[in-house]
């Protein structure tokens, strides 16, 4: 069965969600990310996706103290991304409790560094972030778009040893309009042994089942939970966490 991974995106130490990656659309859903994380843990979730949105549009990790508090007060397996643009950033993330880190912008702009992380920490701890708009990989908190084709980009890193990929279709992220299932099917075809993690657009439990039927191993869900479209009871009841 597909694994559902709840998401906490952080700006200014608060839980927020964006629409299509637009920072001006930021909406606060919780003043305390630690309390939110505890709620996910109490619902039986095992993993948590944490994104430092302040870090994503800056030159370094920012909300690492919040990461540390979540890791200290829950037993959740945390994958952390946003602002990881140097060896020191990654060291801080792991030291503050991240079990895994996700590199997106750095994989595009500093591939040698990202590949060094992959060798040093291993494919079980380094996730490729491959978020796309119109089939092209986006970077820097989705504020910039590269010339890299999404499928060619993930295929190249698969050959270099990546075995986990988080991919968001920016055009549907935060819209509650449904996930881009065809995109994930195409990705799984070029990544036959990788764990593809879907993200963006999920609006209901039915969307989760559709991704499961398509063979997607895991999905990150954020806004649908915060908006009450998918409840914590739903997750606990159908044992998706």
Query: Closest Cα partner for 88 from 69, 112, 64, 122?
Result: 64
CA separation for the pair 25, 21 (Å, rounded):
8
Q: Is 51 exposed, middle or buried (0-12, 13-18, 19+ CB in 10 A)?
A: buried
The answer to whether the CB of 97 falls within 8 A of the CB of 70 is yes
Three-state DSSP state, 72? helix
The answer to whether the CB of 71 falls within 8 A of the CB of 98 is yes
Instruction: Give the residue numbers marked as catalytic.
Output: 9, 131
The answer to whether the CB of 3 falls within 8 A of the CB of 219 is yes
């Amino acid at each position: 069965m597909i694994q559902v991974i709840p998401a906490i995106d952080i700006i200014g130490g608060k839980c927020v969600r964006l629409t299509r990656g637009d920072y001006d659309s930021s909406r606060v859903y919780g003043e305390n990310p630690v309390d939110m994380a505890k709620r996910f843990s109490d619902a039986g979730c095992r993993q948590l996706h944490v994104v430092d949105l302040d870090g994503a549009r800056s030159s370094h990790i920012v909300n690492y103290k919040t990461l540390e508090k979540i890791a200290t007060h829950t037993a959740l397996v945390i994958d952390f991304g946003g602002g990881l643009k140097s060896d020191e950033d990654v060291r801080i993330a792991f030291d503050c409790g991240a079990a895994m880190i996700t590199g997106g912008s750095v994989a595009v702009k500093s591939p040698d560094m990202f590949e060094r992380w992959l060798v040093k920490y291993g494919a079980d701890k380094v996730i490729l972030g491959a978020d796309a708009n119109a089939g092209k990989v986006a970077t820097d908190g989705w504020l910039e778009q590269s010339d890299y084709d999404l499928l060619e980009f993930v295929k190249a890193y698969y050959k270099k040893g990546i075995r986990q990929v988080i991919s968001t279709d920016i055009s549907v992220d935060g819209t509650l309009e449904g996930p881009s299932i065809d995109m994930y099917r195409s990705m799984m075809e070029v990544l036959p042994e990788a764990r593809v993690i879907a993200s963006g657009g999920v609006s209901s439990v039915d969307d989760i089942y559709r991704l499961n039927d398509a063979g997607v191993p895991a999905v990150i869900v954020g806004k649908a939970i915060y908006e009450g479209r998918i409840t914590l009871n739903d997750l606990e009841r159908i044992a998706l966490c």
